[in-house]
Amino acid sequence: MNDYQTPVPADLPERIQHYIDGESVDSAEGGTFEVLNPVTNETYIHAAAGTKADVDLAVAAARRAFETGPWREMLPRERSRVLHRIADLVEGRGDRLAELESFDSGLPITQALGQARRAAENFRFFADLIVAQADDVYKVPGRQVNYVSRKPIGVAGLITPWNTPFMLESWKLAPALAAGNSVVLKPAEFTPLSASLWAGIFAEAGLPTGVFNLVNGLGEQAGDALVKHPDVPLISFTGESSTGQTIFANAAPALKGLSMELGGKSPAVVFADADLEAAINATVFGVFSLNGERCTAGSRILVERSIYDEFVERYAAQAKRVKIGFPHERETEVGALVHPEHFEKVMSYIEIGKGEARLVAGGGRPEGFPTGNFVAPTVFADVPSDARIFQEEIFGPVVAITPFDSEEEALELANNTKYGLAAYIWTNDLKRSHNFAQSVQAGMVWLNSNNVRDLRTPFGGVKASGLGHEGGYRSLDFYTDQQAVHINLGEVHNPVFGKAD
């Protein structure tokens, strides 16, 4: 037993179950898996371990609800009302959600508190969008009218990650449900606790039985069965790129629709004319918030050489002041990593980095935290572009800083990884900022800004960072089939084959 304990949330369930066809159920084969407290690495609850049998039951329920239930036939306004009720319930349970999320994932409580607001806003956004949506019409006056009709596709398979799990689940659930689909959610096995809230929220909001189903379990079992199921025509996945490759291969024989937001190794490029204090504050937050476990983290900082030494010195000093603490403490800025498996991965990269670059802050377990998954905010300087800590996603509180001498070199360094999710550019030169943004290989670019999302814009990456985009109408595009209907208004102009003499 450790010398310290974090407060255990009150009224935890005895175990975490699946939710299939309106009922909380154990696994058909009776299997469970352990869920660990990231501060102590002790098992605090067991969750139902889903297998193909559980996925089959969930998909059957979802398909039955889609084909015979009222959800897909409801007017957009009627579905919108349910989604707004869901948003109200999520927002009203924000404190409870944050408590569970922080305890389960190691996320600092102050950062977890924002997740309920963001999750609620996702549902509000798509509740409004589904009512405001207008289908396209194309006219040829006097001859033809063509219109596009959107139709829900069926059962959507949603596979979500363990970083900010509840919010990222909402990011998929809201548009899938808004469009009229039924869903089967497979949350990450490291963090299943907050996902168990969805069943009660949806039932109270009036979502019809069977429209939402949840199967817990390992990716290799429950996730794999969901991807391969013949009655699941589309899969939305967020996670690491190697898992995305496996999903791509397994979904290919059935030609399923895929939306995949994958890994990142995003550059933050700081030019000499930038607001240095703003750039340092943003890049410190950008890699150390959410414990560094964020796909859009600016984990490679490229700095123009004339300000490089000053930047490194100030950045390292600020990183050393980042408050490491227990997730439940309000002053904590970096808590515990999610799982000992991930902790070992991050620590192994830190050891690799010590042989590749100059360590200027952190570098291991922080003082006062002899156990648990705590990693000190770690900064490496003078990182060469062929270093593993420059090229590979670490997904923890570790940053690599590299100098550049010209705009051309900065662009070459920024694009010199297999990833292409996000990029951050700091400069007061308007022409350069826009030209650089156009040339950098990234699905999303922020100019003189931290990662601030507008839900109307596309979210996704290029190269190994993803396939497809979601956000705004692009989400509705993914979760619907678009059918073109052509209407003749004039004389029929057909070539006549086999005409009688």
Residue of 261, 293, 356, 470 marked active site: 261
In the predicted model, what is the mean pLDDT of residues 106-135?
95
Judged against a pLDDT cut of 50, whether residue 264 lies above it is answered with yes
> In terms of Cα–Cα distance, which of 211, 311, 221 is closest to 270?
311
Q: What is the DSSP string of 351-401?
A: HHHHTTSEEEE--SPPTT--SSS----EEEES--TTSHHHHS---SSEEEE
The arithmetic mean of pLDDT across residues 258-275, rounded, is 97
**Inter-axis angle of helices 76-92 and 165-178, nearest 10:** 160
Of 100, 95, 3, nearest in space to 327 by CA: 100
Q: Which residues contact 233 (CB under 8 A, 6 or more apart)?
A: 153, 154, 155, 254, 256, 257
Tell me if 147 sits within 8 A of 137, measured CB to CB. yes
Contact 108, 327 (CB under 8 A): yes
Catalytic annotation present for 220:
no
How far, in Å, CA of 398 to CA of 424, rounded? 17
Q: Which of 387, 408, 405, 242 is nearest to 300 (CA)?
A: 387
Q: Could you give the angle at the alpha carbon of 200 between the alpha carbons of 194 and 62, nearest 5°?
A: 95
pLDDT tens digits, 433-491: 999 999 999 999 999 998 888 999 999 999 999 999 999 999 999 999 999 999 999 88
CB-side exposure of 239: number of CA atoms within 13 Å?
A: 23
Q: In whole angstroms, what is the distance from residue 150 CA to residue 473 CA?
A: 11
Average pLDDT, the chain: 96
**Apex CA 444: angle with CA 440 and CA 448, to 5°?**
80
- pLDDT of 2 reads 42
pLDDT at site 499: 87
Residue 129, sorted as left (phi over 0), alpha (psi -120 to 50) or beta, turns out to be: alpha
Contact of 115 with 105, CB cutoff 8 Å: no
Task: Return d(Cα 152, Cα 35) in angstroms, integer.
Answer: 35
Contact 319, 382 (CB under 8 A): no
Provide DSSP, 175-227. HHHHTT-EEEEE--TT--TGGGHHHHHHHHHTPPTTSEEE----IIIIIHHHH
pLDDT score at 69: 86
Span 168-197, pLDDT tens digits: 999 999 999 999 999 999 999 999 999 999
Percent of the chain with pLDDT over 90: 93
Q: CA-CA distance, 316 to 308, in Å (whole number)?
A: 12
8 A C-beta contact, residue 195 and residue 161: no
75-80 average pLDDT score: 97
pLDDT at 5 (0 to 100): 65
* Residues 6 or more apart in contact with residue 252 via CB below 8 angstroms: none
Q: What's the pLDDT score for residue 134?
A: 87
Query: 20-29 pLDDT, tens per residue?
Result: 999 999 999 9
Higher pLDDT, 34 or 6: 34
What is the mean predicted confidence (pLDDT) over 217-242?
A: 96
- Note the pLDDT of residue 495: 87
